[in-house]
Amino acid sequence: MGFKNILFAVAALSPTVYAQGAAYAQCGGQGWTGATTCVSGYVCTYSNPYYSQCLPGSASTTATSTPTATSTPTTIITSTTKVSTTTSGSATTTAAVAGNPFSGKALYANPYYASEISTSAIPSLTGAMATKAAAVANVPTFVWLDTKAKVPLMGTYLANIRALNKAGANPPVAGTFVVYDLPDRDCAAAASNGEYSIANGGVANYKAYIDAIVALLKTYSDVSVILVIEPDSLANLVTNLSVSKCSNAQAAYLECTQYAIAQLNLPNVSMYLDAGHAGWLGWSANITPAAQLFAQVYKAAGSPSQHKVSQLILSLIPVAMEFSLQLRMLGEIGAISSALGFGVRPTTNTGDALEDAFVWIKPGGECDGTSNTTAARYDYHCGLADALQPAPEAGTWFQAYFAQLLANANPSF
């Protein structure tokens, strides 16, 4: 089994294609040089001097209330383009991926994350910090499908990516998503408990969630998609079976993960199975059982052929110690450190042939867990001395965290 590495932070991959802004895309603001009109059904709505956004409305207008752009165009392909959710004829299936799936691709900027920055981050920032925050919104970031209700959003984004590519995006744009909805999720902690319970039909519900994703991927078979599969899951089966919730979830985790990998094994899809990080599974006592577990899952899923399995995603601690990187902390490093900053932009220039890319998987500013000791989902890691506090619930916006990432960014925005 060929393990490959994918990680967290990266570079500009291509020129921007401009036409009309997609649903919830940026459409104006100080320094903005992209589309200033929106697709049908959406209006370019002024939010603040640094950000206007395509929001639901009855007409498409220009962002006349925003300042004139003064900066040079960004080199990231963003979601600002003409979008069509209908197609004529069947989609052309993308050829099976060979080699590095990030190579020769531009990555799609996450409109949901851009919306969070617009509504939650920028209003409390001023001057240069607000301008820099708007720039962060244009960095490609993975979309987290952490509930079944978010799956239709994947279809919206894939439709927009298809439109970008049909409009001549060069290099072509790929979609990036995180599959994250296992029953009894986050078994060794409480911060990110999910919507499904094993005791209440969770395995069947999870398979239905995967089936819904598969249906969309088949509908948009002409769009290249890169998936990260279930962060913080199988690694717990290596080190945390002494935790009753993890031992009770072991069989379900294996069944669900194998089902996901087998069903998502499509020609236009590349998968990276989360394997924790070097500070978690890199110890000599953990390496062999981890390798055996991932090999077992890979083989049980039918040995997917399309570059599907990776080791060491998301939080490479040795790298993080040397460079300031945007991280999704896992395992025993489960809280947000008080010294993190945004790092390298998405790039395939990793300096190591075994590392496919540095990418932003976890949107910086979304909290990993609360420091409130009275909360039902409190995780003690979030209350440690070096954790940023006070921290809200996992998945909610953490403004102090975002401001810290922005202030400590290296390279700066």
Considering only residues 337 and 255, tell me which one the structure prediction assigns the higher pLDDT.
255
82-101: average pLDDT = 57
pLDDT value of position 75: 31
Q: Which residues are annotated as a binding site for substrate?
A: 144, 146, 277, 280, 362, 366
The dihedral built from the CA positions of residue 8, 52, 47 and 158, taken in this order, carries a sign that is negative
Residues 188, 54 share a domain: no
Closest by CA position to 265, among listed 212, 314, 296, 227: 227
pLDDT value of position 309: 45
Quick one: the chain helix, strand, coil %, rounded to 5? 30, 15, 55
Whole-angstrom Cα distance, residue 282 to residue 316?
Answer: 10
pLDDT value of position 24: 66
Structure confidence by residue, pLDDT tens digits, 355-378: 888 899 989 999 988 889 888 888
Name the pairing type of β-strands 355-357 and 4-6.
Answer: parallel
Q: Which residues are annotated as a binding site?
A: 144, 146, 277, 280, 362, 366
Residues 278, 158 share a domain: yes
Residues 249, 171 share a domain: yes
pLDDT value of position 50: 58
Question: Within a domain: residue 360?
Answer: yes
> Domain residues for 58?
20-73
Among 191-200, 214-223, 273-282, 366-375, the range with the most confident prediction by mean pLDDT is: 214-223
DSSP 232: T
pLDDT at 31 over 70: no
pLDDT at 73 over 70: no
- Residues with Cβ within 8 Å of residue 385, at least 6 apart in sequence: none
Residues 160, 35 share a domain: no
* Amino acid letter, 409: A
Catalytic residue among 181, 184, 186, 356: 186
DSSP 143: E
Question: Within a domain: residue 100?
Answer: yes
Question: Within a domain: residue 412?
Answer: no
Q: Is 186 a catalytic residue?
A: yes
Structure tokens that stand for 12 in this block: 């500009």
DSSP 365: T
204-212: average pLDDT = 99
Whole-angstrom Cα distance, residue 237 to residue 292?
Answer: 11
CA distances from 152 to 8, 17, 88, 94, 318 (A): 25, 24, 20, 21, 37
The domain that holds 186 is classified in CATH as 3.20.20.40
Name the pairing type of β-strands 42-48 and 51-56.
Answer: antiparallel
Residues 233, 212 share a domain: yes
Considering only residues 351 and 248, tell me which one the structure prediction assigns the higher pLDDT.
248
Structure confidence by residue, pLDDT tens digits, 211-227: 999 999 999 999 999 99
pLDDT at 169 over 80: yes
Domain count, the chain: 2
DSSP string, 147-210: SGGGHHHHHHHHHHHHHHHHTT-SSPEEEEEEE---TT-STT-STT--S--GGGTHHHHHHHHH
pLDDT value of position 89: 43
Phi-psi region at 303: left, alpha or beta (left = phi > 0; alpha = psi -120 to 50): left
Residue ranges of the alpha helices (H) in 220-359? 234-239, 244-263, 278-281, 284-300, 317-322
**pLDDT band at 39; cut points 50, 70, 90:** confident
CA distances from 381 to 30, 56, 342 (A): 39, 40, 21
Catalytic residue among 222, 232, 274, 356: 232
375-391: average pLDDT = 85
**pLDDT band at 335; cut points 50, 70, 90:** low
Of the candidate ranges 65-74, 177-186, 201-210, 295-304, the one whose mean pLDDT is the lowest:
65-74
Question: Within a domain: residue 413?
Answer: no
Residues 66, 146 share a domain: no
57, 73, 89: which is the final residue of a domain? 73
Residues 140, 225 share a domain: yes
Whole-angstrom Cα distance, residue 259 to residue 235?
Answer: 17
The 3-state DSSP class for residue 81 equals coil
Residues 182, 61 share a domain: no
pLDDT value of position 245: 94
For the chain, the C-alpha Rg in angstroms (whole number) is 20
Q: What angle do CA 319, 320, 322 make, to 5 degrees?
A: 70
Across the chain, mean pLDDT equals 79
Q: Is 184 a catalytic residue?
A: no
28, 47, 73: which is the final residue of a domain? 73
pLDDT value of position 47: 62
Does residue 252 contact residue 198 with C-beta atoms inside 8 Å?
A: yes
Does residue 209 contact residue 177 with C-beta atoms inside 8 Å?
A: no
Cis peptide before 67 (omega within 30 of 0): no
Does residue 295 contact residue 289 with C-beta atoms inside 8 Å?
A: no
Q: Is 274 a catalytic residue?
A: no
